[in-house]
Structure 1
Amino acid sequence: MTNYNNSTKIPFKVSARTARLIGRENIASSKGAIIELVKNGYDADSKISIVYFDNKFSTVLNEITEEYVSELKSLGIPEVEIFELYERDIETDNTYVIKKDVDEEKKKQLKNTIAKFCSLYIIDTGEGMTQKIIRDYWMTIGTDNKANDVFTKSGRVKAGAKGIGRFALDKLGGICEMTTIFNPEVHENDVDENGAATDYSGYRWIVNWEDFEGEFKTIDKVDAELIGINANSIIEEIEAQIPSLDLSKINFEESAQFGTILKISNLRDNWENFYVDQVFTDLEVLVPPKEVGEFEIYLFSSLEQNKYGEVLGSVCDDYDYKLVAKADENQNISITVYREEYDVELIPNGFFQREAMKNEPYRKEDFLQGFWKKETSFSQILMGFKERDEDNTFDNIGVFEFTFYFLKRSYSSDDASRFFYKGFMSNNRKDWLNKFGGIKLFRDNFRVRPYGEAKDAAFDWLSLGNRKAASPAGVAKPEGGYRVEPENVAGAVKISRLTNVNFEDKSSREGLQNNKTFDVFKQLLAGIINVFEDDRAFIAREMDAYDDERFGAERDRKKAEDLAKKIVADSREKRRQREDNPNNAATNDNTSEEQQASDREKEILAIEIERKEEQIEKLKDEQKVLRGLASSGIVLASFSHDLSKLNDVLSSRTDKLKELISEKIKEEDYEQSERRKNPFSQIERIRTQDIKLQNWLNFSLGATRKDKRKRPQVFLKNYFNEFKDDWITVLDERGILLEVTEIEDIELRVFEIDLDSIFNNLLVNSIEAFNLMRENRQRQIQVKVHSNGREVIFDYSDNGTGLSKDIEKPEIIFEPLFTTRRNPHTAEEEGTGLGMWLVQSIVKENDGNLKLLFPENGFGLRVSFPMKYKRQKDGQV
């Protein structure tokens, strides 16, 4: 029998690697880590938070100054490494520019070397920390002090609760140095680990997160360094540690003596401008706009010192509908719906005389008031759920507030007149929605990421898109079923740790833990949105019916016209059948003469209506063309004359300048001088720049010449020589050779602007391909033109990278919106996807054909036009 008397208790050991698991590997993104540390400042009762990216050395700049070179040398960068990449700019004495033939590998090596000198600072002016707080709370993993003590001294609800937010430091960099100056009026007297009073005003705490690495190392074997300091104020510390930060841009309070500076170095990410922009955007929606003034956030960058500043949220004041729902502890919801979509002054009184519009809240006085209210409850919004819910989930949801906005991105003129829409700036709305759209979730005035975050999978966390897909009905559909699109909405849901205790953070700080309460809560929010949907759809149906009553006759006339066209088509089809099958004509003899006469009258009437409609459409088209030409003429008359005069000046000004200077000094006196100090060399440089500018002006002005919109005889040899001249400057700068020597002497009757569109698009694509090319070979583009008796054939080819190997069906490149051009940072599509589609459209419009060619290297395309467009030298077709 086993003896259990010899038992003992043994403690758990925590591996030092735990710090990495709950910090670097647990927190989902660096942006999320920064936000966690900003929230720490909020919990410390700070009025402001400063995020400062000292990222001057995050990238290799294209142009640097003598001072920048000196800085690099002071950091230990050998001079030879610097001047392997840079050369002196001949135009200025203290500027260097990156060499054109720079070695990309050496450029990458320098970037990696200097990036090590970048730092990130997160600063607050809160209450600071005493030695006891640092030892007992800051150094304790998973401390529960914020969970138990939920209010700050000023009454804020603390944003943190899990006690692991400080490990976000490890996500950002390998080393952290914290400087904290504590407020003695807020904290108890500062004491050391033995309880003895100290005379320090603050502390410097330093940790190297790499110390947590190593086999079999437990957390109690890892130490941080703590140094007592005496400092007058946190502002003096900021000025001493970050002299490049302009504190005049920050709205410090007079009492801002205390606070904390977190300096993170050995950064794990390279904070170039692209990524700093993303952090700035995230911070803009970190707190609701209403909270501006209570907690201000600033972001600065040493690389772009004037680009950033105070982070301000955006208030939505240009909306079609706004809904505000407030839920209380008794599961009642008070809803206020604001209507701004309709121009009430334009709505005829007759509309409000309709039976359905005589009831509240659809009367004219309700529209003029601009809003209406409704009292409801959880169980009324989600009817039938409470009876089936054994867990009483409604009791677990708690108090919340939901503000919802609906904004149309655009509308047609027909809809504007039918629904009496107010006008708005479509581009401004699109820009605002792209930046601030989506329904955000805030807890105690801080956003819970990633809900409602643009370009994130959780953007549509309420599944509005799925609702729309299941019920795609338009807003005015008589049967109902309208559902709003997620891309047209914005809003904020506000909850609190105090009243919504069942909504717990994920430890990764990326959202709330999924449970039944949260799932029901989402359905409840969607049900509240449905109050708006029902209101908008009801009004739209009534307006649509009213519009039918007023303009139904006009629409009937249009239907009659369509019917007339159908009768004509049927008549022509019958006639064709009789001509094709004369033997069957006898079967029609039984048709009464009266019926035949009636059909003939219908046919004559329909033909006449069709002819009139064609005349009207031709006149409308002519009117549109004339309006467009008139507008183009005004614009060109305003600018092309001035540009042409500038073009004339460019061709002679350097000769005149050289002539004037030569009267005072001799050119031979400067033969031994450096180019940058030789005035005659500088004049030649200006001449080169003028020639480039002239070429661009000729190209721009030539693209809109009137004769390009006609279909004259185009001599292809001359055309491609001029085409090469237009592009020569751009191509030479990129080391690209354009060959147009194999062009037959053919005259083609074609719109010159069509040729421009085809070959400009192909050339732009080739330049983009050469930019991606890694092989060191001569860059060539070749255009050949010949005829074979039936067709005029254009062969275009380059020796660039060719079509992407990922394209399974090459013909897909001609489909609209297809593009392989993507952002190098995010892989998002950047190309328009219209270039090759446009090429195909133009070729088809001219009855031509396209054929992809597949050279050994690069891209090839054959464009062929039928002989009907070709003329010989004698002018005969």
Structure 2
Amino acid sequence: MTLIPFSVSARTAQLIGQQNFSSAEGAVIELVKNCYDADSNISIILFDNTDIDFKKHSLYIIDNGDGMTESIIRDNWMMIGTDNKESNYSTAGGRIKSGAKGIGRFALDRLGENSEMFTLPRNSTDGNYWRVDWNDFNQKGISISQVNAVLEPLSNLDYISTLTKISSLSSNLLEYISQNDASFNNGTIIKISNLREKWSEEEIFKLFENLEILIPPREQPSFDIALYSNKYPGSFGHLSGVYFDDYDYKLFANYLNDESKTVEITIYRNELDLRQIEKNYSKVFTRPTMKNFPYDFETFRSQYFTYSVPINELVKGHSEVDKDNLLEKIGKFDFSFYYLKNTKSDDKNESDTKKYPYKEFNSSSRRAWLKKFGGIKIFRDDFRVRPYGEYGEDWLKLGERQAQSPQGAGQRLGAYRIRPNQISGTVNISRLTNLSFQDKSGREGIQENEVFELFKSILKGIIAQFEKDRNQIMFSFSELFKETNLEELAKRQAEELARRILEEEANRKKNENQNPVHETDKGNERTNTNIPTPDEIALATGFQSQKVEIEEKDNEIRLLRSLSGTGLIVASFAHELRSLRTLLISRTDEMKTVLENLLEGYDMKNIPREDNPFVMLHHMREQDVQIKHWLDYSLSALRKDKRKRSNLNIEEYFHTFKSNWDNALKRRIVNLRIISKLKSSTHVRAFAIDFDTLFNNMLINSLDSFKRRKDNHSRDIEISFETDENLLKIYFSDTGAGLSKDYEKDPNDIFLPFETSKVDKKGNKIGTGIGMYLAKAIVEDYKGEIEILETNIGFKLGIYLPLRKESYE
């Protein structure tokens, strides 16, 4: 028996290169992947294409990766079908190599007849030059082993100098390299000449677009791509990449393929205006469909939620027929999905904008973005697998699915299906964990098999989770609109009627001034049915005034709501904080007693203070006292009696106010004086918490004012009060720095919301600008007045509150 070897014809190279890569664009992308596999930070594509004869054009692929030693070129680069990337699947930088078949270098043959390569390994001064003429593989009757490439060692190869020489062909490329933070001390430069086809501007632009979405969207990509053309210098450049920040919904699903076999899903809602919901649509949360998680108001306010679902539930019924355990072959993956509607209305119905509190967005920019980046794309180890999602290709057949159930999101529960022209997404898989997803031989897609078909169904099941969420929400808003539309119609009619009445009255007065009515005709004038009656005018005026007042109150409520977070946190831990407060002082006293018993007879005089446990306990007790004072003050604001309107004894209130602040003020060497000029006991029917907000804000402003005053001075705050007829007059003054000179022209501007003079040295505002605005709002709520008074030192305010019960009850 004789053993004979196989012989491979040189023509095989042509089959692998020119016919394996269906397009020149795909061949360039394959070479860019090689740059990534070499741990390069960047891949640069340069078309030197100014000559009239395209055969004289050249194409450069440049990176700053690991470079290649002579042994790597001989053993890996020159070996067809090498398994190097299959056995050494990760790079030194931790990347999973995108190539595995060992035929990527034949992309060079697809692009041009001749190829040259300069390469300098990392941390080396000696490089290599490699050259091949792909026409040599066309010789008849020879085997592939009879075709040779040229390999020359290059001692002291200056990679930057070589790169600069090439960059001189393109001023844009030279500028980009000089401004790029990445170093070019090593890497590989490939030159492809005698190109097999002419690259038009349109074809280069198509390549540019595909490179833009070659890697998955990230805020800070670890791999940059740039493309330049000498013939079209202003048309191309650095690819910015894709990052989604304008969406109505975002869904992120992660399947770890662990024992639980669950998919963790996070849904982000960004479609509806939360402020509008709180103001005009809050009744929707009383509906049975919107009472429980994840549709309740608290979840809505957080704008996202996370939950887990067993993977078999995403394809209901599959587990009963999965006799081949296809689910076990899926492997871990993650899926980011974005929904961006490109028209304001879901059902193209005029009432939709009234049914649903949509956020504003730019339709034209969304349509342009979706045209470029729409569709769901697959990425394997951070590189896109073509052609999925290319130019919006609907490989999940979502269009067919939607055509079978074309209802809008608010029309019927369970019937909503997404349209494929409103979505974008990325599916991330890996050749290490998704072994059943193998490339087709032509590298254009994944081999279609049962596992991949099941994977598609799982992805559609995940999309259905989004559809269910949006469907239930929009349906609930639609039903609410049907229930409340009669009331809204009545409000609109009343608003229109009030506007018309006031307009007619204004016109009547204008005509009356121009054409005075004789005294004897005035009685007849009012009998005209087209002229509003005094009652109608009063009603219309009151309606308009109330509308303005409600709008102002709504603005104030939104402002106050933003400040309530800290109070809610303190309130939620009130019980625990009260328990802690009772232990603060006693714990150090008890520890001191224990130590004294244990150390009885032990001489502590010679122990340094920093090592003396009694000194340490003393310092701890001082800190505990400060914490207790803060807790006393904070918890006092949470007392229920402060949130009820009561007859507030003014003198008692301010003495309590002083005692609450005493310890904090002593540490700051601040003297607070309370001066009562009342002749008898005086009460105001009010909420104690309102008075706390009013005077706490003033006192805090005074403390800040003392810091701003640089000279040595006494720190005094005085609160005095007296009655004058039916007014309670309260005067608040301090000896601080006074009102900023910036407010000399309009001192009352300090009462505007977000107005503050507290800034850092860079001019950044560090104050909230809320305190004095709230003070004025509270005083006005009690039908009172607040004014800034003249004073020689510091700052002074006067507050005047009516004492008549009916004026503020």
| 1:230 is aligned to 2:147 | no
Residue among 281, 284, 306 paired with 1:373:
306
| 1:477 is aligned to 2:411 | yes
TM-score (norm 2): 0.57
Q: Is the 8 A contact 2:376 2:426 kept in 1?
A: yes
Distance 2:251 2:448 in 1: 26
**SS at 1:504 equivalent:** coil
| 1:332 is aligned to 2:262 | yes
| 1:132 is aligned to 2:71 | yes
Distance 1:355 1:322 in 2: 25
Q: Note the C-alpha offset of 1:460.
A: 0.9
Distance 1:244 1:316 in 2: 35
Question: In structure 2, what is the equivalent of residue 402 of structure 1?
Answer: 335
**SS at 2:233 equivalent:** coil
Q: Deviations for 1:41-79, whole angstroms, at most 9, x for unmatched residues?
A: 11111111111111223xxxxxxxxxxxxxxxxxxxxxx
Question: In structure 2, what is the equivalent of residue 314 of structure 1?
Answer: 242
Q: Note the C-alpha offset of 1:291.
A: 7.1
Question: In structure 1, what is the equivalent of residue 283 of structure 2?
Answer: 350
Residue identity opposite 2:229 in structure 1: S
Distance 1:289 1:465 in 2: 24
Residue identity opposite 2:67 in structure 1: G
What are the ranges of 5 or more consecutive residues in structure 2 without an aligned counterpart? 491-809
Distance 1:448 1:518 in 2: 14
Question: In structure 1, what is the equivalent of residue 687 of structure 2?
Answer: none
Residues 435-474 of structure 1 aligned to structure 2 (within 5 Å): 435-454=372-391, 459-474=393-408
Distance 1:368 1:252 in 2: 42
Q: Is the 8 A contact 2:413 2:475 kept in 1?
A: no
Distance 2:412 2:185 in 1: 66
Question: In structure 1, what is the equivalent of residue 60 of structure 2?
Answer: 121
Q: Which has the higher contact order (CA 8 A, sep 6+)?
A: 1
TM-score (norm 1): 0.53
Residue among 192, 198, 206 paired with 1:270:
198
Distance 2:167 2:360 in 1: 49
Question: In structure 2, what is the equivalent of residue 155 of structure 1?
Answer: 94
Residue among 386, 390, 412 paired with 2:323:
390
Residue among 282, 301, 304 paired with 2:229:
301
Question: In structure 1, what is the equivalent of residue 802 of structure 2?
Answer: none
| 1:499 is aligned to 2:493 | no
**SS at 1:27 equivalent:** coil
Q: Is the 8 A contact 1:42 1:295 kept in 2?
A: yes
Question: In structure 2, what is the equivalent of residue 576 of structure 1?
Answer: none
Q: Note the C-alpha offset of 1:554.
A: 9.2
Residues 230-249 of structure 1 aligned to structure 2 (within 5 Å): 230-245=155-170, 246-249=173-176
Q: Deviations for 1:496-527, whole angstroms, at most 9, x for unmatched residues?
A: 12211221112212111111111111110000
Residue among 285, 304, 310 paired with 2:213:
285
Question: In structure 2, what is the equivalent of residue 418 of structure 1?
Answer: 355
Distance 1:395 1:496 in 2: 15
Residue among 29, 32, 35 paired with 2:23:
29
Q: Is the 8 A contact 2:168 2:174 kept in 1?
A: no
- Sequence identity percentage: 46
What are the ranges of 5 or more consecutive residues in structure 1 without an aligned counterpart? 1-6, 58-110, 186-199, 557-877
Distance 1:415 1:448 in 2: 39
Q: Note the C-alpha offset of 1:184.
A: 4.6
Distance 2:267 2:424 in 1: 15
**SS at 1:477 equivalent:** coil
Q: Note the C-alpha offset of 1:231.
A: 4.1
Residues 211-222 of structure 1 aligned to structure 2 (within 5 Å): 211-222=136-147
Q: Note the C-alpha offset of 1:384.
A: 1.5
Residue identity opposite 1:514 in structure 2: E
Q: Is the 8 A contact 1:125 1:234 kept in 2?
A: no
User: Number of aligned pairs?
Assistant: 478
Deviates more, 1:371-380 or 1:250-259: 250-259
| 1:204 is aligned to 2:129 | yes
| 1:169 is aligned to 2:96 | no
Residue among 264, 268, 271 paired with 1:341:
271
| 1:260 is aligned to 2:260 | no
Residue among 40, 46, 50 paired with 1:52:
46
Q: Note the C-alpha offset of 1:480.
A: 2.8
Q: Is the 8 A contact 1:291 1:445 kept in 2?
A: no
Distance 1:350 1:555 in 2: 17
**SS at 1:169 equivalent:** helix
| 1:182 is aligned to 2:112 | no
| 1:490 is aligned to 2:424 | yes
Residue identity opposite 2:143 in structure 1: T
Distance 2:488 2:426 in 1: 45
Distance 1:291 1:426 in 2: 24
Question: In structure 1, what is the equivalent of residue 457 of structure 2?
Answer: 523
Q: Deviations for 1:643-699, whole angstroms, at most 9, x for unmatched residues?
A: xxxxxxxxxxxxxxxxxxxxxxxxxxxxxxxxxxxxxxxxxxxxxxxxxxxxxxxxx
Distance 2:251 2:163 in 1: 44
Q: Deviations for 1:747-782, whole angstroms, at most 9, x for unmatched residues?
A: xxxxxxxxxxxxxxxxxxxxxxxxxxxxxxxxxxxx
Question: In structure 2, what is the equivalent of residue 715 of structure 1?
Answer: none
Q: Deviations for 1:460-516, whole angstroms, at most 9, x for unmatched residues?
A: 111111211222222222253211011100011111122112211122121111111
Larger Rg: 2
How large is the RMSD of aligned CA atoms in angstroms?
A: 1.9
Residues 595-610 of structure 1 aligned to structure 2 (within 5 Å): none
| 1:541 is aligned to 2:478 | no
Q: Note the C-alpha offset of 1:202.
A: 1.4
Structure 1 residues 232 and 14: alpha-carbon distance in aligned structure 2, compared to 1, 3 A threshold: closer
Q: Is the 8 A contact 1:289 1:312 kept in 2?
A: no
Distance 2:464 2:83 in 1: 40
Q: Deviations for 1:243-274, whole angstroms, at most 9, x for unmatched residues?
A: 22332313555652111111111112211211
Structure 1 residues 555 and 345: alpha-carbon distance in aligned structure 2, compared to 1, 3 A threshold: closer
Q: Note the C-alpha offset of 1:369.
A: 0.9
Residue identity opposite 1:373 in structure 2: T
**SS at 2:68 equivalent:** coil
Q: Deviations for 1:185-225, whole angstroms, at most 9, x for unmatched residues?
A: 6xxxxxxxxxxxxxx81111111111111332211121111
Residue identity opposite 1:335 in structure 2: I
